[in-house]
């Protein structure tokens, strides 16, 4: 668990979130235009990285930035592309599974309830 936290911190501090966001945006634009091999590979790699999230720190950073929002936007753009849609759902589940409920409720604009 400590190793995942340290790796997550290094990834966030090293600009990894911004890089993931740029891959997601390019993939989103490409999907909306009909697809392209290089962007599709980048998109799938970004989704794979997000799916392997293992720390709350990294999951919270993905929610605080734009990455989680871009992953959600892929649901419309990926219609007809089951591979991307499946990877998008796995990535979103990984973020939500590892983030604290208060973080994703803030990101989704809802109030967290305990109980």
pLDDT tens-digit map of 2-52: 777 777 788 888 888 999 999 999 999 988 887 666 668 889 999 999 998
Tell whether 89 is covered by a domain.
Answer: yes
Tell whether 74 is covered by a domain.
Answer: yes
Measure CA 26 to chain center: 14
Domain range enclosing 21: 2-108
Tokens of 108: 């989704």
The answer to whether the beta carbons of residues 31 and 84 sit under 8 Å apart is: yes
Tell whether 115 is covered by a domain.
Answer: no
17/97 Cα distance (integer angstroms): 18
Tell whether 18 is covered by a domain.
Answer: yes
pLDDT tens-digit map of 53-91: 888 888 988 988 889 889 988 888 887 788 888 999 999
Tell whether 114 is covered by a domain.
Answer: no
Q: What is the pTM of this model?
A: 0.81
φ/ψ of 69, rounded to 5, equals -65, -40
Tell whether 85 is covered by a domain.
Answer: yes
Pairwise pLDDT comparison (46 vs 115), residue with the higher score? 46
Task: Give the chain's domain count.
Answer: 1
């Amino acid at each position: 668990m400590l190793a995942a936290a340290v790796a997550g911190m290094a990834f966030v501090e090293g600009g990894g979130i911004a890089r993931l966001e740029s891959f997601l945006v390019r993939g989103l634009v490409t999907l909306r235009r009909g697809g392209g091999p290089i962007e599709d590979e980048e998109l799938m790699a970004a989704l794979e990285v997000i799916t392997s999230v293992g720390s709350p720190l990294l999951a919270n950073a993905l929610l605080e930035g734009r990455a989680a929002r871009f992953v959600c936007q892929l649901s419309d753009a990926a219609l007809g592309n089951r591979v991307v849609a499946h990877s998008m759902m796995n990535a979103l589940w990984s973020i939500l599974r590892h983030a604290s409920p208060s973080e994703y409720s803030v990101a989704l604009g809802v109030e967290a309830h305990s109980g």
